[in-house]
Chain A
Amino acid sequence: KAGVTQTPRYLIKTRGQQVTLSCSPISGHRSVSWYQQTPGQGLQFLFEYFSETQRNKGNFPGRFSGRQFSNSRSEMNVSTLELGDSALYLCASMAGTFMNTGELFFGEGSRLTVL
Protein backbone atom coordinates (compact mmCIF):
# COMPACT_ATOMS: atom_id res chain seq x y z
CA LYS A 1 0.00 0.00 0.00
CA ALA A 2 1.47 3.33 -1.03
CA GLY A 3 2.08 5.85 1.72
CA VAL A 4 1.17 9.51 1.89
CA THR A 5 2.70 11.30 -1.07
CA GLN A 6 3.53 14.98 -1.04
CA THR A 7 4.66 17.05 -3.98
CA PRO A 8 6.83 18.89 -4.58
CA ARG A 9 9.43 17.80 -2.06
CA TYR A 10 11.44 20.99 -2.32
CA LEU A 11 10.64 24.40 -3.70
CA ILE A 12 12.01 27.91 -3.59
CA LYS A 13 9.82 30.98 -3.95
CA THR A 14 10.27 34.71 -3.50
CA ARG A 15 8.30 37.01 -1.26
CA GLY A 16 4.91 37.95 -2.62
CA GLN A 17 4.51 34.84 -4.73
CA GLN A 18 2.02 32.11 -4.04
CA VAL A 19 2.54 28.37 -3.74
CA THR A 20 0.39 25.26 -3.98
CA LEU A 21 1.35 22.02 -2.28
CA SER A 22 -0.25 18.69 -2.98
CA CYS A 23 -0.95 15.67 -0.83
CA SER A 24 -2.22 12.25 -1.87
CA PRO A 25 -3.39 10.25 1.15
CA ILE A 26 -3.22 6.54 1.59
CA SER A 27 -5.86 4.83 -0.49
CA GLY A 28 -9.13 4.68 1.43
CA HIS A 29 -8.20 7.43 3.87
CA ARG A 30 -10.75 10.22 3.95
CA SER A 31 -9.14 12.58 6.43
CA VAL A 32 -6.21 14.78 5.46
CA SER A 33 -4.56 17.28 7.76
CA TRP A 34 -1.72 19.74 7.27
CA TYR A 35 0.98 20.87 9.67
CA GLN A 36 3.69 23.49 9.45
CA GLN A 37 7.04 22.63 11.02
CA THR A 38 9.62 25.33 11.77
CA PRO A 39 12.60 25.41 14.14
CA GLY A 40 11.10 28.32 16.06
CA GLN A 41 7.42 27.39 16.31
CA GLY A 42 7.66 23.62 16.07
CA LEU A 43 4.77 21.67 14.66
CA GLN A 44 1.60 23.66 14.23
CA PHE A 45 -1.75 22.47 12.94
CA LEU A 46 -2.98 24.25 9.83
CA PHE A 47 -6.25 22.55 8.88
CA GLU A 48 -7.98 19.25 8.37
CA TYR A 49 -10.30 18.07 5.64
CA PHE A 50 -12.72 15.20 5.70
CA SER A 51 -14.92 14.28 2.75
CA GLU A 52 -14.11 17.55 1.00
CA THR A 53 -15.12 19.66 4.02
CA GLN A 54 -12.81 21.57 6.30
CA ARG A 55 -13.36 20.05 9.71
CA ASN A 56 -10.81 21.94 11.79
CA LYS A 57 -8.67 25.00 11.30
CA GLY A 58 -5.62 26.19 13.15
CA ASN A 59 -4.61 29.72 14.00
CA PHE A 60 -3.09 30.82 10.73
CA PRO A 61 -3.87 33.90 8.61
CA GLY A 62 -6.24 33.74 5.69
CA ARG A 63 -3.27 33.56 3.30
CA PHE A 64 -3.22 29.87 4.13
CA SER A 65 -6.00 27.90 2.53
CA GLY A 66 -6.71 24.38 1.47
CA ARG A 67 -9.15 22.10 -0.21
CA GLN A 68 -9.88 18.45 -0.68
CA PHE A 69 -11.07 16.74 -3.80
CA SER A 70 -13.54 13.90 -4.20
CA ASN A 71 -10.68 11.39 -4.43
CA SER A 72 -9.43 12.66 -1.02
CA ARG A 73 -6.35 14.31 -2.49
CA SER A 74 -5.70 17.64 -0.86
CA GLU A 75 -3.95 20.85 -1.75
CA MET A 76 -2.88 23.73 0.37
CA ASN A 77 -2.16 27.18 -0.93
CA VAL A 78 -0.20 30.03 0.56
CA SER A 79 -0.63 33.41 -1.07
CA THR A 80 1.56 36.50 -0.77
CA LEU A 81 4.45 34.54 0.66
CA GLU A 82 6.47 35.96 3.54
CA LEU A 83 9.94 35.00 4.71
CA GLY A 84 8.38 33.43 7.81
CA ASP A 85 6.46 30.96 5.69
CA SER A 86 9.69 29.07 5.07
CA ALA A 87 9.00 25.70 6.65
CA LEU A 88 8.48 22.02 6.21
CA TYR A 89 4.81 21.41 5.42
CA LEU A 90 3.61 18.00 6.49
CA CYS A 91 0.49 16.24 5.35
CA ALA A 92 -1.09 13.39 7.30
CA SER A 93 -3.95 11.07 6.50
CA MET A 94 -6.17 8.90 8.60
CA ALA A 95 -8.80 6.34 7.76
CA GLY A 96 -11.24 7.01 10.54
CA THR A 97 -14.12 9.30 11.15
CA PHE A 98 -15.48 10.83 14.32
CA MET A 99 -13.89 9.81 17.61
CA ASN A 100 -11.45 7.57 15.86
CA THR A 101 -8.18 6.92 17.60
CA GLY A 102 -6.61 5.68 14.44
CA GLU A 103 -3.05 6.33 13.51
CA LEU A 104 -2.06 9.39 11.54
CA PHE A 105 0.21 8.55 8.63
CA PHE A 106 2.53 11.36 7.62
CA GLY A 107 4.13 12.17 4.33
CA GLU A 108 7.77 13.19 4.01
CA GLY A 109 6.82 16.82 3.66
CA SER A 110 7.34 19.70 1.27
CA ARG A 111 10.26 21.94 2.14
CA LEU A 112 9.40 25.53 1.20
CA THR A 113 12.06 28.21 1.17
CA VAL A 114 10.98 31.82 0.70
CA LEU A 115 13.68 34.26 -0.41
Chain B
Amino acid sequence: AQTVTQSQPEMSVQEAETVTLSCTYDTSESDYYLFWYKQPPSRQMILVIRQEAYKQQNATENRFSVNFQKAAKSFSLKISDSQLGDAAMYFCAYRSANNAGNMLTFGGGTRLMVKP
Protein backbone atom coordinates (compact mmCIF):
# COMPACT_ATOMS: atom_id res chain seq x y z
CA ALA B 1 0.00 0.00 0.00
CA GLN B 2 1.09 3.51 -0.68
CA THR B 3 1.76 6.02 2.06
CA VAL B 4 2.15 9.78 1.95
CA THR B 5 3.97 11.73 4.66
CA GLN B 6 3.98 15.44 5.34
CA SER B 7 6.53 16.08 8.04
CA GLN B 8 5.59 19.71 8.73
CA PRO B 9 2.31 19.99 10.65
CA GLU B 10 2.54 23.79 10.59
CA MET B 11 4.45 26.37 8.61
CA SER B 12 4.37 30.12 8.59
CA VAL B 13 5.53 32.62 6.01
CA GLN B 14 5.66 36.37 5.74
CA GLU B 15 3.44 37.89 3.09
CA ALA B 16 5.30 38.22 -0.25
CA GLU B 17 7.93 35.68 0.82
CA THR B 18 8.46 32.15 -0.47
CA VAL B 19 7.67 28.96 1.41
CA THR B 20 8.22 25.29 0.62
CA LEU B 21 6.01 22.49 1.92
CA SER B 22 7.47 19.00 2.03
CA CYS B 23 5.95 15.70 1.01
CA THR B 24 7.41 12.24 0.71
CA TYR B 25 5.67 9.10 -0.41
CA ASP B 26 6.29 5.41 -0.54
CA THR B 27 5.24 3.23 -3.45
CA SER B 28 6.45 0.29 -5.46
CA GLU B 29 4.70 1.53 -8.57
CA SER B 30 6.44 3.35 -11.39
CA ASP B 31 3.41 5.10 -12.83
CA TYR B 32 1.31 7.39 -10.67
CA TYR B 33 0.10 10.93 -10.15
CA LEU B 34 0.82 13.37 -7.36
CA PHE B 35 -1.29 16.30 -6.26
CA TRP B 36 -1.33 19.20 -3.88
CA TYR B 37 -4.73 20.21 -2.56
CA LYS B 38 -5.60 23.30 -0.56
CA GLN B 39 -8.32 23.34 2.07
CA PRO B 40 -9.16 26.87 3.27
CA PRO B 41 -11.05 27.39 6.52
CA SER B 42 -14.34 27.15 4.57
CA ARG B 43 -13.36 23.47 4.09
CA GLN B 44 -13.81 23.06 0.35
CA MET B 45 -10.73 21.37 -1.04
CA ILE B 46 -9.35 22.69 -4.29
CA LEU B 47 -6.61 21.37 -6.53
CA VAL B 48 -3.46 23.47 -6.51
CA ILE B 49 -1.19 21.52 -8.82
CA ARG B 50 -0.64 18.02 -10.18
CA GLN B 51 2.30 16.06 -11.50
CA GLU B 52 2.44 12.95 -13.64
CA ALA B 53 5.26 10.66 -12.54
CA TYR B 54 6.37 9.95 -16.10
CA LYS B 55 7.04 13.63 -16.71
CA GLN B 56 10.48 14.82 -15.72
CA GLN B 57 9.55 18.47 -15.94
CA ASN B 58 8.27 19.97 -12.72
CA ALA B 59 4.72 21.29 -12.85
CA THR B 60 4.09 25.02 -12.42
CA GLU B 61 0.87 26.94 -11.92
CA ASN B 62 1.41 30.67 -11.54
CA ARG B 63 2.94 31.21 -8.08
CA PHE B 64 2.88 27.50 -7.29
CA SER B 65 5.55 25.06 -8.41
CA VAL B 66 6.72 21.62 -7.38
CA ASN B 67 10.07 19.95 -6.99
CA PHE B 68 9.47 16.35 -8.01
CA GLN B 69 12.30 13.97 -7.20
CA LYS B 70 11.10 10.54 -8.33
CA ALA B 71 14.10 8.56 -7.13
CA ALA B 72 13.90 10.16 -3.70
CA LYS B 73 10.08 9.88 -3.70
CA SER B 74 9.80 13.51 -2.79
CA PHE B 75 7.24 16.04 -3.98
CA SER B 76 7.54 19.48 -2.43
CA LEU B 77 5.37 22.52 -3.11
CA LYS B 78 6.85 25.98 -3.43
CA ILE B 79 4.63 29.01 -3.03
CA SER B 80 6.17 32.23 -4.24
CA ASP B 81 5.04 35.74 -3.34
CA SER B 82 2.80 34.38 -0.58
CA GLN B 83 -0.55 36.05 -0.15
CA LEU B 84 -2.94 36.18 2.80
CA GLY B 85 -5.35 34.04 0.80
CA ASP B 86 -2.80 31.24 0.70
CA ALA B 87 -3.43 30.53 4.38
CA ALA B 88 -4.98 27.06 4.52
CA MET B 89 -4.33 23.38 5.09
CA TYR B 90 -2.32 21.84 2.29
CA PHE B 91 -2.54 18.16 1.50
CA CYS B 92 -0.23 16.12 -0.64
CA ALA B 93 -1.95 13.20 -2.37
CA TYR B 94 -1.01 10.14 -4.40
CA ARG B 95 -3.01 8.32 -7.01
CA SER B 96 -2.01 5.10 -8.74
CA ALA B 97 -2.07 5.04 -12.53
CA ASN B 98 -2.69 1.31 -12.46
CA ASN B 99 -6.08 1.45 -10.85
CA ALA B 100 -9.30 2.28 -12.61
CA GLY B 101 -10.67 5.05 -10.52
CA ASN B 102 -9.63 8.09 -8.60
CA MET B 103 -8.79 6.84 -5.12
CA LEU B 104 -6.39 9.28 -3.49
CA THR B 105 -4.05 8.60 -0.59
CA PHE B 106 -3.51 11.79 1.37
CA GLY B 107 -0.77 12.96 3.66
CA GLY B 108 -1.57 14.33 7.09
CA GLY B 109 -1.55 17.93 5.92
CA THR B 110 0.42 21.09 6.63
CA ARG B 111 -1.25 24.16 8.06
CA LEU B 112 0.17 27.25 6.39
CA MET B 113 -0.12 30.58 8.14
CA VAL B 114 0.65 33.79 6.28
CA LYS B 115 1.73 36.79 8.34
CA PRO B 116 0.94 40.26 7.07
Chain A residues at the B interface, C-beta cutoff of 8 Å: 3, 31, 33, 35, 42-45, 48, 50, 55-56, 58, 88, 90, 92, 94, 96, 98-104, 106-109
CB-nearest residue of chain B to A58: B103
Residues on B with beta carbons closer than 8 Å to the beta carbon of A58: 103
> Assuming A101-B33, A106-B45, A109-B43, is B106 touching A43 (CB within 8 A)?
yes
The answer on a CB contact under 8 Å between A48 and B45 is no
Chain B residues at the A interface, C-beta cutoff of 8 Å: 33, 37, 42-47, 50, 52, 91, 97, 99-109
> Assuming A108-B44, A109-B43, is B103 touching A101 (CB within 8 A)?
no
Bound CA span A48–B52, Å: 22
The answer on a CB contact under 8 Å between A45 and B104 is yes
6 A-B pairs closest in CB distance: A43-B106, A106-B45, A55-B101, A56-B101, A56-B103, A98-B100
Residues on B with beta carbons closer than 8 Å to the beta carbon of A101: 33, 50, 52
CB-nearest residue of chain A to B106: A43
The answer on a CB contact under 8 Å between A90 and B45 is yes
The answer on a CB contact under 8 Å between B102 and A33 is yes
The answer on a CB contact under 8 Å between A56 and B50 is no
CB-nearest residue of chain B to A3: B44
Residues on B with beta carbons closer than 8 Å to the beta carbon of A43: 91, 104, 106, 109
Q: Which of B43, B52, B107 has the most CB of A within 10 A?
A: B43
The answer on a CB contact under 8 Å between A42 and B108 is yes
The answer on a CB contact under 8 Å between B100 and A99 is yes
